[in-house]
């Protein structure tokens, strides 16, 4: 590729790389496992695109032009949904632009995506980026009124949703904080089981899993924690609820779900276990 030649002026190389990334729109042929030539072509052009984006990042970051690279990366992360390198560059770019909260939110989004859709944890490099954002946010001292203001920014209604990694961390904090008390703590899993090939959607085209999530948020207490795992399950952490209470809560969730979801193609399987 002409743009890769070092003897070409930087401005011209940037121009050429930008033209190249603009041409790429994602997979251009329908993927069939039996068509090896299709797979080879898709991977070939995808790798060319990734290298163009990476080289653009290097060239533009040397010019401290992170605003320009941000738009290119926003397109790249949409096209390459599961590419670690591109997601990491995007977060690095946000950090350089001091968009720390956006970087943190994006990290949580990708952590959620990887666990729910791929069943895998994010890479160690990804985690170190997150810790870097957290450390940066904590570099300056905060007056207590400012901390209180941050805590009060979001309206608190219903149960608290977080990604799976944060769910585990929050559960651990709650269990440690109440270790000397007699408070019971339980975990509930609510799993949608389909009776046909796909989960039916109601007349408002609302997915059954989305309805279940809304019911859990609205019907649980403000101090309860929940998360989504996989494509058909929610996990809930309840503090101060015994097994009998949890049974009643689970029945209420199921009852409220079927008030909204009118199909008969799914059922909810609930499992209750003590958290300690």
What integer pLDDT is reported at residue 149 of this predicted model?
Answer: 67
**58 with 130, same domain?**
yes
Q: Which helix (H) or strand (E) holds 189?
A: strand 185-194
Which of the four pLDDT bands, split at 50, 70 and 90, describes residue 232?
confident
**103 with 224, same domain?**
no
How many domains, the chain?
A: 2
Of the listed ranges 124-128, 133-137, 221-225, the one predicted with least confidence: 133-137
Range of the domain at 206: 160-274
The pairs formed by 60-67 with CB atoms below 8 angstroms and a separation of 24 or more are 60/14, 61/96, 62/10, 63/10, 66/93, 66/96, 66/97, 67/97
For residue 150, being part of any structural domain is answered with: no
* pLDDT tens per residue, range 2-49: 666 666 788 888 989 999 899 888 765 555 554 666 667 778 888 899
For residue 142, being part of any structural domain is answered with: no
Cα-based distances in Å from 13 to 59, 64, 90, 248:
8, 16, 21, 65
d(CA 79, CA 111): 17
d(CA 149, CA 147): 5
What's 90's domain CATH number?
1.25.40.10
d(CA 163, CA 169): 10
């Amino acid at each position: 590729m002409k743009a890769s030649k070092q003897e070409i002026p930087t401005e011209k190389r940037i121009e050429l790389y930008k033209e190249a990334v603009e041409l790429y729109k994602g997979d251009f042929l329908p993927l069939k496992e039996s068509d090896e030539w299709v797979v080879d072509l898709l991977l070939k052009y995808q790798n060319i695109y990734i290298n163009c984006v990476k080289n653009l990042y290097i060239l533009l970051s040397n010019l401290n032009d992170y605003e320009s690279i941000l738009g290119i990366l926003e397109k790249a992360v949409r096209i390459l949904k599961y590419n670690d390198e591109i997601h990491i560059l995007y977060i690095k770019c946000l950090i350089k632009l001091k968009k720390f909260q956006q970087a943190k939110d994006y990290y949580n989004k990708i952590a959620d995506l990887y666990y729910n859709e791929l069943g895998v944890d994010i890479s160690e490099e990804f985690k170190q980026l997150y810790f870097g954002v957290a450390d940066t946010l904590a570099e300056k001292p905060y007056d207590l009124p400012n901390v209180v203001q941050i805590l009060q920014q979001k309206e608190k209604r219903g149960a608290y949703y977080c990604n799976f990694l944060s769910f585990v961390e929050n559960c651990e904090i709650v269990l440690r904080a109440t270790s000397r008390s007699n408070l019971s703590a339980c975990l509930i899993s609510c799993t949608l089981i389909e009776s046909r090939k796909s989960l039916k959607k109601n007349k408002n085209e609302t997915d059954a899993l989305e309805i279940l999530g809304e019911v859990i948020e609205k019907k649980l207490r403000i101090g309860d924690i929940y998360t989504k795992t996989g494509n058909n399950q929610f996990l809930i952490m309840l503090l101060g609820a015994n097994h009998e209470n949890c049974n009643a809560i689970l029945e209420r969730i199921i009852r409220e779900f079927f008030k909204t979801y009118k199909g008969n193609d799914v059922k909810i399987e609930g499992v209750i276990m003590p958290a300690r």
